[in-house]
Structure 1
C-alpha cells in the first residue's frame, strides 16, 4: 500500500492519526503536524516513473482543480510535494461528512428512519440542499465549468467553522473534468464516479454539467422531504416551500 512507502518529509513533519479512506487515485490519512499541532488530511497517490504522460496528467488533475477552485465551496488545499514515487496532497481536515449526517440525523431528531420529518429537521434539510446547490452552481459557473462526476455524500465535508454562513465543502476532485458550455453534450470519459450516484448518460460518455444535479437528486436527504406532506403557515405544501427556497 502507499502507506508503506511514506517519504522522509512526511515522517519528519506529520504523525498519522487514522486512515480516512480511499479517494480518486490514492489513500487519505488524518494527520497532525509534529511542530504546530494542526490536524490535516493528506492524500497519498502513487506517481511511478513507469506511468505515461496521460496517466500522470490524470493524477495531477485533482491538484490543478483544487488550486483553481479556491473558495468556501471546496476543501482548502494547503501543500503538495513529490517524494519516492508518491504524490502528497495536503488539505484541511474535517471530522464529518454528509454521509454521517444522513446516517444519524433521524436519531438526533428522535424519529424512526421510515417516519416523516418534523418541521425543524425539515428546515435543516432544506438548508443542506440549498448549500449543496450553491456548491454545484459554483463549479458549473467556473470558467471553464467543472463537472465533479463523483458527488456522493461522503465527498461533501462539514466545516464546523462557518465562513459566510456556509458549512458544506466538496472534496475529492480526482474524477472532475472541464466542460465546454458551447456544446450541449460533449464527449467525456464514461463510467466515472460511484455507480450509486451516477447519471445514466455517464455510461454513454456524452453528457454535460447536468450529471452533477442528477447525483444530488439521489441523496437520501431529499426523499424524506418529499414524504413530508404537511402545509406551511402560508398554506403552501412542503414541496412548494422547498422549491421557493431553492429559487430564492
Structure 2
C-alpha cells in the first residue's frame, strides 16, 4: 500500500518542476516520492536524502554513488537517471535524485498479498534477473548491487505464459569500486546477505547469493532467515516443492563459502538453462544428496581448495594369490628345466626368472598396500597409483582450467560393458572404473556418489553417453 504521509512535502513542487503526488517509501533520512514532471507530464520517482537528526555522511556517499551509477548505465529493466539537484528550503535541506517510474509492485508486496509462484515462473524470474546482473557485472568496474531482495525487485502482472516483466531497483547500496585492501561499508539485508558482506566485502557472486535467497523465499513462502540452517547453509528443501535439479541449483547459488558458490551470472544462467535430458542425475527420485555408500572404503577429502579421492585395491591377495600359485607350478619349472640344458635360452631364462618373480611380488604388494589417488586443486588435476610414498602418474597432470567435461559412460572390456566416470581435461581423460578386472575398481553406487561429489565441486553437469 502506498504511504500518503507526505509531511513537509504535501502539495510540494520540487525545483518548481516535480509535483509531489504520493509517497512510495520512507526510512531513516530518506523518502521516495512519486511526482509528476510538469515539463513532460510524465510520472517520475524522486528519491530524497535530507539532512535531519539521523543523517550520516556515509548516507551521502552512498546516495551520490547511486546517482553516479544510474547515470553511467542504461538497461530497460533498470530505472533511468533523469536528474540530480540540491534541496534548499526552509523546512528541509538535502539532495534529490530523479529517475524513471516503473508502474509495478515489488515481489515482497505481491507475496504479502498472497501471490504464489510455480517453479517455471520462479525460473523465469531467475533468468530475467541473471540477465540484468550479467549487464551490471560486465561494467568496468563491475557494478555490484549488494542488496538483492524481494522489495528491490519489481514485477508486472502475468501476461499469457509470462510471469511478467522483471525490474531491479534501489541502487542505494551499490558498489562500483573493488579495493582488496580497503574497508568497505557493510550494507545489505539480513537473510539475503552472504557471509563475506558482513566483513564489508562483496563480489559479483555476492549478488548471486542474494538472488538465490530471494528465489528460496519465492519457492518456500518463508523469509530465508526463518528457515533452518546448518553451517550457514540454508536448509530449504523440505519447505519447497521443486525439482531436484532446481533445488541443487539454488543450493549452489547460496553456498556460504564464496569459492563453492556459482561464480558469475553467466555461469549461473548456463547452469540453469542446461537441458535436463543431457544431465545425468544419480538420484532423480529424491531431493536428497547421495551419501557415501555404507561399507565403502573410498576416502574422500575436500574443501574450498581441493578435492581428493583415494581408492583402495579390491580383492586384496585372493586373486593374485591364485596367480602366484599357478605361476610357481606352471612357469617356474619350465625356467628351471630349460636352464639345466645349458643353452643360451636356458641362461636367459634363468636371468629373467628373478625379474618375473619380482614383478609378481610387486603386483601382490600393490594389491595389498597400494592406492589410486585422484587429486584436483585450483592449479591442476592428477591421477596416480601410490605405494609407500612412491607415485606413478597414470596420466600426466593437467591444468585445472582445462577441465571441460564430466562424463559417465559405458566402456567395453573383453566385449563386456563397464561403467566409467571420465573427467576430460582437453583431450586427456582421467578415469574411475567399475570393472571387476581393475584392481582399483569401484561399485556402481560408489561411482554415482563420486560423480555427484565431483559435479558439485567442479560445478560441471554430469553428461551421460
Task: Using structure 1 for the length normalisation, give the TM-score.
Answer: 0.71
CA distance in 1, matches of 2:141, 2:196: 21
How do 1:126-205 and structure 2 match up within 5 A?
126-158=123-155, 167-180=165-178, 187-205=182-200
Query: Is the CA contact (8 Å cut-off) linking 1:73 and 1:138 kept in structure 2?
Result: no
Decide whether aligned partners of structure 1 residues 24 and 211 sit closer, same or farther in structure 2, where only a CA change above 3 A counts.
Answer: farther
CA distance in 1, matches of 2:205, 2:183: 13
Query: Is the CA contact (8 Å cut-off) linking 1:2 and 1:44 kept in structure 2?
Result: no
Query: Is the CA contact (8 Å cut-off) linking 1:74 and 1:170 kept in structure 2?
Result: yes
TM-aligned CA deviation for residue 126 of structure 1:
1.3
CA distance in 2, matches of 1:211, 1:25: 27
More RCO (CA 8 Å, sep 6+): 1
1:209 aligns with 2:215: no
Query: Is the CA contact (8 Å cut-off) linking 1:73 and 1:168 kept in structure 2?
Result: yes
Decide whether aligned partners of structure 1 residues 156 and 24 sit closer, same or farther in structure 2, where only a CA change above 3 A counts.
Answer: farther
Decide whether aligned partners of structure 1 residues 149 and 188 sit closer, same or farther in structure 2, where only a CA change above 3 A counts.
Answer: farther
Structure whose alpha-carbon radius of gyration is higher? 2
Query: Is the CA contact (8 Å cut-off) linking 1:187 and 1:205 kept in structure 2?
Result: no
Q: What secondary structure is seen at the aligned counterpart in 2 of 1:195? A: coil
CA distance in 2, matches of 1:241, 1:147: 21
CA distance in 1, matches of 2:84, 2:197: 31
Task: Using structure 2 for the length normalisation, give the TM-score.
Answer: 0.41
| CA displacement, residues 111-155 of structure 1 (integer Å, 9 cap, x when unaligned) | xxxxxx6xxx33222111111111122211111101111112111
Structure 1, unaligned stretches of length 5 or more?
107-116, 231-235
TM-aligned CA deviation for residue 12 of structure 1:
3.4
| CA displacement, residues 22-79 of structure 1 (integer Å, 9 cap, x when unaligned) | 369621011223465421211111269xx99876444311100101122123112222
Look up the match of 1:110.
Answer: none
> Which residue among 241, 244, 248 is the counterpart of 1:228?
241
> Which residue among 25, 30, 52 is the counterpart of 1:26?
30
> Which residue among 73, 77, 82 is the counterpart of 1:78?
82
> Which residue among 40, 44, 47 is the counterpart of 1:43?
47
Look up the match of 1:109.
Answer: none
Decide whether aligned partners of structure 1 residues 229 and 215 sit closer, same or farther in structure 2, where only a CA change above 3 A counts.
Answer: closer
Look up the match of 1:112.
Answer: none
Corresponding residue pairs, total: 222
Query: Is the CA contact (8 Å cut-off) linking 2:144 and 2:202 kept in structure 1?
Result: no
CA-based RMSD of the aligned residues comes to 3.8
1:102 aligns with 2:111: yes
TM-aligned CA deviation for residue 9 of structure 1:
5.6
CA distance in 2, matches of 1:174, 1:241: 28
Structure 2, unaligned stretches of length 5 or more?
222-235, 251-268, 275-465
